[in-house]
Structure 1
């Protein structure tokens, strides 16, 4: 049971996390940074990803219910964040030659959230937790929970490996190639953000509770 759950969860989550896309984002956001800074952000992003997946799995639905946040709301917020980041990458602010690059951490936002652990990934993890809690009482839950945590660890390790490979790619492409890639990725992020928001609006309009509320008003 442990190995089955680990394999199934890893296979389902890998396309949602999509580490190569985050690696491209990392290249665009760290084009003027030192290798030590990039390495530190990659290490932190892998740790944050594992912690975020575990928190989402065990208490994600409770957090959303406590603050009254719906999955459509989560998608709209994630789409807005991705769109803003994409706009900044597509139209970067002019910088002087003597201006030092920013040392602000990008490990949690945007590398972990919403890039690797976005609304779609969170919704998948929360729905999986709900399905496990609905299993009959005769099921042994400990191997299932252990398998999910192991899958989160494998996902984080895979993402770390892919992100670490971004540095050799950065050296190969050079400054001009990275600048072009940054603008292309910025446009794609804007498109992804808009699609997230469209999906959120569609889910909101399809929600019976929202329809009833609109009818009452």
Structure 2
């Protein structure tokens, strides 16, 4: 195993993925959807999200491109779909519906959707990971391939740990802000999520337009 190659790809994975993933934004989604919940629920959702996230990132890295190709899904289409979902989540956070206490205190899970997909492992993260996998596949140095793939997987694991830690810090923030602070914070982050979703949507439109223009 080439230690230098291993460390290089660990660093590249973390540096390239963390800004796109934006764990604090996912933590705000967890806060917004956990109003009225106990600490155990929030912590359990954070831990479960960590498991789902690592699995989703590894699946995206190893077979993401094949899945998209199997269903004829392009990266722009992935951005469009993810943008629509993020806008819907942001809209619900900005204009929350009145729910009964029994519904509010239910045990439904939010770990897979929306925390893992599309908040953490969204269109941007998937596009970056699939691009990295495609670049690695062209590498002809088969001797160091184990170090390359090992570095990426370790990097994905470290990114997952950072995201998991960020989500677990949501409960102390919840206690510090109080219910009124959380309500205001949730609406602000809902608006920002809508902006992020629209950005994903417009990027997808731009990429589709460019693809059409290149075909003409």
**TM superposition score category, shorter chain reference:** over 0.9
* TM-score, L = length of structure 1: 0.93
Aligned pair 1:2/2:6, yes or no? yes
Alignment length, in residue pairs? 212
- Relative distance call for 1:44 and 1:98 in structure 2 (3 A) is closer
Moved more, 69-78 or 158-167: 158-167
Q: Matches of 2:159 and 2:100 in 1, distance apart?
A: 39
Match of 1:66 among 66, 70, 78: 70
Counterpart Cα distance in 2 of 1:69 and 1:195: 19
Residue from 85, 88, 92 that aligns with 1:84 = 88
Paired position in structure 2 for 1:146? 150
Question: 1:176 deviation in Å?
Answer: 0.3
Q: Deviating runs (4+, > 6 A) in structure 1?
A: none
Q: Distance in 1 between matches of 2:103 and 2:138?
A: 56
Structure 1 stretch 99-108 or stretch 183-192: which is displaced more?
99-108
1:110-164 per-position Cα deviation (integer Å, ceiling 9, x unaligned): 1111111110110000000000000124452111000000000000001111111
Of 44, 50, 54 in structure 1, the residue corresponding to residue 48 of structure 2 is 44
Distance 1:96 1:53 in 2: 36
Q: Which residue of 2 aligns with 1:15?
A: 19
Separation in structure 2 between the aligned mates of residue 139 and residue 98 of structure 1, nearest angstrom:
58
Tell me the alpha carbon deviations over residues 10-62 of structure 1, each in whole angstroms, 9 at most, x when there is no partner: 11111111111111111111021111111111001111111111000000000
Matches within 5 A, 1:89-104: 89-96=93-100, 100-104=104-108
Moved more, 145-154 or 86-95: 86-95
Larger CA deviation: 20-29 vs 132-141:
132-141
Counterparts of 1:99 and 1:8 in 2: how far apart (Å)?
Answer: 43
CA distance in 2 between partners of 1:176 and 1:163 (Å):
20
Q: Which runs of 5+ in 2 are unaligned?
A: none
Decide whether aligned partners of structure 1 residues 100 and 204 sit closer, same or farther in structure 2, where only a CA change above 3 A counts: closer
User: Residue in 1 aligned with 2:124?
Assistant: 120
Separation (CA, whole Å) in 2 of partners of 1:205 and 1:102: 44
Q: CA RMSD in A?
A: 1.5
| Cα distance in 2 between the residues matched to 1:163 and 1:203 | 32
- Quick one: structure 1 residues 161 and 138, their matched pair in 2 at CA, closer, same or farther if it must change by over 3 Å? closer
Give the CA deviation at 1:98. Answer: 6.3
Do structure 1's residue 190 and structure 2's residue 194 form an aligned pair? yes
Instruction: Determine the structure 2 residue equivalent to 1:162.
Output: 166
| Greater Cα offset, 77-86 or 96-105 | 96-105
C-alpha displacement of 1:95: 2.8
Distance 2:101 2:51 in 1: 34
Q: Which runs of 5+ in 1 are unaligned?
A: none
